Amino acid sequence: MSATPLPETTAAARKARPRPALFGITLADWLRIAVHIGALIPLALLLWDGAHNHLTANPIQEITFRTGKTAIILLILSLLCTPLNILFGWKVVLPLRRPLGLYAFFYVCLHLLIFSVLDYGLDWGLIQQTIAEKRYVLVGFAAFLLLLPLALTSTKGWMRRLGKRWKQLHRLVYLAAFLAVVHFVWLVKSDIREPLLYGAALAVLLLLRLAPLRRAIVRVRSRPAR
């Protein structure tokens, strides 16, 4: 005679159960909604401030700075998702990497568009001269060129086409983020505390991706509670 199955009371069983939905929307859906809203708020504030003449005495410089800063923040947040899963087992945040990364690229494109159209009036000769002469512009443009193929190949179709090469390609995001931080440091010149803070965050995220440290964290997290 088979034994009567015991109720699922273990921690593993509780984790395996589907999380209840709030108002019929799952936690994953709420997080995606939050990402979309949060990523669009800086753009909405920028449009609001522009419509009400709140963009300081140099509006072009202000919107250039704000779009670039938003791009760096979103890029770092996209890189934060995997470490959160490593540290806490939050798999629900992993699908957020793609929208955060694409929103970061969107703000990078805005940043570049403002620079080339509003600031330099599409004067390609002057733009090329500026890229060649100003190092912060050069590394910023290099970061854009690295992010461009990542954005274009962010779909599931490209993941299937590229196979293992897709992960290798998308590791370039760390180099792009590093160049973006360097761009910020060289741009502000004097008070570099804020860009260095982003650089420190990026360094921690890179450290957490190291295989030995990642395995050690997973082992510690997997130990049963006494």
Q: For position 41, what pLDDT does the model report? A: 97
Q: What is the C-alpha to C-alpha distance for residues 193 and 200, in angstroms, rounded to an integer?
A: 10
Map tokens 């990642």 to a residue. Answer: 214
Q: For position 104, what pLDDT does the model report? A: 97
Count Cα neighbours of 57 within 13 Å in the Cβ-side half-sphere: 0
Strands, DSSP E only, in 21-122?
none
Amino acid at position 86, single letter: I
Q: Can you give the pLDDT of all 226 residues of the chain as single tens digits?
A: 444 444 444 444 444 455 556 667 899 999 999 999 999 999 999 999 999 988 888 999 999 999 999 999 999 999 999 999 988 889 999 999 999 999 999 999 999 999 999 988 889 999 999 988 899 999 999 999 999 999 999 999 999 999 989 999 999 999 999 999 999 999 987 788 999 999 999 999 999 888 888 888 878 877 766 6
Q: What is the C-alpha to C-alpha distance for residues 71 and 211, in angstroms, rounded to an integer?
A: 28
- Rounded to 5 degrees, what are φ and ψ at 141? -65, -35
- Give the pTM: 0.85
Contact indicator for 79, 71 with CB cutoff of 8 Å: no
Q: What is the C-alpha to C-alpha distance for residues 166 and 113, in angstroms, rounded to an integer?
A: 28
Secondary structure of 2-17 as H, E, C letters: CCCCCCCCCHHHHHHC
Selection from 78, 136, 133, 86 nearest residue 104 by Cα: 78
Contact indicator for 173, 159 with CB cutoff of 8 Å: no
Q: For position 204, what pLDDT does the model report? A: 93
Q: How far is CA 190 from CA 183, 193, 195, in A?
A: 13, 9, 11
Q: Where are the domains of the chain?
A: 24-219
Map tokens 């990402």 to a residue. Answer: 35
Q: What is the C-alpha to C-alpha distance for residues 156 and 150, in angstroms, rounded to an integer?
A: 12
Q: For position 4, what pLDDT does the model report? A: 43
Alpha helices, DSSP H, located in the chain = 11-16, 27-51, 59-88, 97-113, 124-133, 135-152, 156-162, 164-170, 172-188, 193-208, 211-222
